[in-house]
A = this chain, B = another copy of it.
Amino acid sequence: MLNFNFQNTTHIHFGSKQIQVLSTEIPLKAKVLVVYGGGSIKSNGVYDQVVDALSNHTWFEFSGIEPNPTYDTLMKAQAIIEKHNIDYILAVGGGSVIDGAKFIAAAAHYQGEDPWNILAKQEPVTKAVPLGAVLTLPATGSESNGNSVVTRDGNKLPFSSPLVRPLFAVLDPNVTLSLSDRQISNGVVDAFVHIIEQYLTYDVNGKVQDRFSEGLLQTLIEEGPKALQPETKEDVDVRANIMWSATMALNGLIGAGVPQDWSTHMIGHELTGAFNIDHARTLSIVLPAVMKVRKEQKRAKLLQYAKRVWQVESGDENERIDQAIKLTEQFFIQMQVPTRLSDVDISESDIDLLIARLESHGMIALGEQGDISLAISRKILTQAL
């Protein structure tokens, strides 16, 4: 096991009717900015629950944060923060809203020239407005980590700081019942690939981390499809298990003390940036190709994955690995996401552009060993055609 540092301070409130804890979790004297997305929280009752819980607070709102939140949208919140002396941000939504809230929180106290430098130059965040989250879409884990991804002019870049980790997160699985199939499937696939990025690397004998990752993968494989099937999609327990899996997938725990990959995400980000493909759908396209192209480097873990996650025990090593990759693709197909670039109308002639974008973003040495060059990324994209 590798040395590690781990701390996750986010206070989780999980279950039915937990939104009401906002009334006590946010200091009464705070001036709160409630930020949200396109308004679905108004039709599914979440907005009303938030308004109820904040009935004794002073609060304002900022809406319109889009999927893959953009710098231009987020910067519009700065005027409200200044005008009303906002000192607490409440994000109500999925990963995009919470990621956006994190950037708003960091930008509010940014002292340099342009807050975009937090992402473009990875300038460290030194102060941020405290924030909390009401999660409506289980997927990114953003509700209890310090990570955020923001897009500007088609460039999708990440930043990270413990200062933007939500102080608390409310996870009520009931609020996910109104999600569309596409949102649910994207969320499950996103969480699945988060786990894989921290698991499918090289073996460092981190037994707890491996078992936890395998348990989360198995849970998503069991529960994900149920959330799409008519006879089980209203089952709150199914939603609860998905929701808790997605949080645990990226709260820092399973990645502590083990190598991490993230090449699927980095290549996927270019697909979103260039072609506006849903984030999760870029992952389901890229991951199987990464598994195939990096079979040798990931051999030991692919065999463990085949055995423990998919119970594949017959055949020689290569057959077992191939079978595990095939089952992964079948799971994605069952989750109604694409597994090929051709499924989203991207062809060989687009690969040059994607490679150029990877290069311009400095993504020239990806993977757990830093040895996925642009040439290997090209192989991966070609494999994914």
Q: Is A297 interfacial (CB-CB < 8 Å)?
A: no
Beyond A12-B4, A241-B205, whether A219 also contacts B211 by CB under 8 A is yes
How far, in Å, is A296 (CB) from chain B's closest CB?
A: 24
- Within 8 Å CB of A223, what residues of B? 207
How far, in Å, is A195 (CB) from chain B's closest CB?
A: 11
A1-B222 Cα distance, complex, nearest whole Å: 16
- Within 8 Å CB of A1, what residues of B? 14-15, 237, 240-241, 244
A7 touches B3 (CB 8 A): no
- Within 8 Å CB of A216, what residues of B? 208, 211
Q: Is A375 interfacial (CB-CB < 8 Å)?
A: no
- Within 8 Å CB of A218, what residues of B? 211
Beyond A216-B211, A257-B244, whether A9 also contacts B12 by CB under 8 A is no
- Within 8 Å CB of A10, what residues of B? 7
Map CB proximity to B onto A241-274 as digits: 1 under 8 Å, 0 otherwise.
Answer: 1001100100001001100000000000000000
A219 touches B208 (CB 8 A): yes
Q: Is A152 interfacial (CB-CB < 8 Å)?
A: no
Q: Chain copies in the assembly?
A: 2
Q: Which of A1, A208, A223, A237 has most B Cβ within 10 Å?
A: A208
A5 touches B9 (CB 8 A): no
B248 touches A208 (CB 8 A): yes
Q: Is A2 interfacial (CB-CB < 8 Å)?
A: yes
- Within 8 Å CB of A208, what residues of B? 215-216, 219, 241, 244-245, 248
How far, in Å, is A383 (CB) from chain B's closest CB?
A: 31
Q: Which of A8, A210, A223 has most B Cβ within 10 Å?
A: A8
Please give me the residue from chain B that is nearest to A21 by CB atom.
B5
- Within 8 Å CB of A109, what residues of B? none
Please report the total number of A residues contacting B with Cβ < 8 Å: 40
A12 touches B16 (CB 8 A): no
A339-B125 Cα distance, complex, nearest whole Å: 55
How far, in Å, is A338 (CB) from chain B's closest CB?
A: 27
- Within 8 Å CB of A256, what residues of B? 12, 14
Given contacts A8-B8, A14-B257, A207-B245, could you give 5 more A-B pairs where the C-beta distance is less than 8 Å?
Answer: A5-B12, A208-B245, A211-B214, A211-B219, A212-B212
Q: Is A13 interfacial (CB-CB < 8 Å)?
A: yes
Please give me the residue from chain B that is nearest to A238 by CB atom.
B205
Q: Is A18 interfacial (CB-CB < 8 Å)?
A: yes
Please give me the residue from chain B that is nearest to A6 by CB atom.
B12
A18-B257 Cα distance, complex, nearest whole Å: 13
- Within 8 Å CB of A16, what residues of B? 3
Q: Is A361 interfacial (CB-CB < 8 Å)?
A: no
Contact of A214 among B12, B215, B257 (CB under 8 A): B215
A6 touches B2 (CB 8 A): no
- Within 8 Å CB of A182, what residues of B? none
- Ordered by A's residue number, 12 sampled pairs between the chains whose C-beta atoms are within 8 Å are A1-B14, A1-B244, A2-B15, A4-B15, A5-B13, A5-B14, A14-B256, A205-B240, A208-B219, A208-B245, A208-B248, A211-B218
